[in-house]
Amino acid sequence: MLVTLIIACEIGFWVLLAAGLSLRYLLKMPRAGAGVLLCEPLLELVLLIATAMDLKNGAEPNWMHGLAAVYIGFTATHGHYMMKWADGQFAYRYAGGPRPVKRPKYGRARTVHEWKMSARAVGAAVIAAALLQCAVWYVDSSEQSESLQMWQLRMGFIVLIALVVAVSYTLFPKKAPAGHAEAEAAEQQPAQR
């Protein structure tokens, strides 16, 4: 049941996002669009309550409960980023908004971007680990909570991988090919008439 609910939450995220942005830009109803977009966190709240109720009703903790915690953690840290990205794309394509700024490819800007993305991943892992720890305390059985603790260990690996990626961009920044800086600067400037 929880896996189905996680899939439904992911589908619901994209449906609410598309509906909110369509209302905002295509139908020129920005308040209604914002209202729909504000409903996004309700999906995670429903998943959190369903997971807690499942454990309360005596379900043995398993990989589904761990996956639900991970999904909530990653949605909490990456959801706003995804919504902001989609909003910029939608505004540009359908409402004459400015061209969205592309992710930096080289140098210090790319390093800073990678650190921000790594911070999101670390935040997601911490939130998931905290939710898992709450579930461990709730179950209060070392035998039954073993699968939840395995998910916590996986979150530790996520933190380690995120930090390794960020540090690698710090120590070995990707350099732009020769002449790329001039071409990129010309691309960012508006066309002269």
Domain-by-domain residue ranges, the chain? Answer: 2-174
Q: Which pLDDT does position 181 carry in this prediction?
A: 57
Contact in structure between 17 and 86 (CB atoms under 8 Å): yes
Q: How far is CA 62 from CA 23, 87, 135, 153, in A?
A: 40, 36, 11, 14
What is the per-residue pLDDT across 138-154, written as a single tens digit (0 to 9) for each?
888 777 788 899 999 99
Residue type, 72: I
Q: Which pLDDT does position 193 carry in this prediction?
A: 37
Model-wide pTM > 0.95: no
Q: Which two tokens stand for residue 17?
A: 């996002």
What is the per-residue pLDDT across 27-81, written as a single tens digit (0 to 9) for each?
999 999 999 999 999 999 999 999 989 888 888 888 999 999 999 999 999 999 9
Closest CA to 73 of 14, 7, 120: 120
Determine which helix (DSSP H) or strand (DSSP E) holds 172, and give its type and residue range: none
Sign of dihedral through CA atoms 125, 126, 132, 133? positive
**Cα separation, 87 vs 1, whole angstroms:** 32
Q: Which pLDDT does position 182 carry in this prediction?
A: 54
Contact in structure between 69 and 137 (CB atoms under 8 Å): no
**Cα separation, 24 vs 95, whole angstroms:** 9
Contact in structure between 34 and 21 (CB atoms under 8 Å): no
- Specify the higher pLDDT residue, 193 or 93: 93
Q: Which pLDDT does position 180 carry in this prediction?
A: 65
Burial 103-140 (b: 16+ CB within 10 A, else e): ebeeeeebbeebbebbebbbbbbebbbebbeebbeebe
Determine which helix (DSSP H) or strand (DSSP E) holds 189, and give its type and residue range: none
**Cα separation, 127 vs 159, whole angstroms:** 12
Q: Is the pLDDT of residue 131 over 80?
A: yes
Q: Is the pLDDT of residue 184 over 60?
A: no
Per-residue pLDDT, averaged over 10-37, amounts to 94
Q: Which pLDDT does position 67 carry in this prediction?
A: 93
Per-residue pLDDT band for 192 (boundaries 50, 70, 90) equals very low
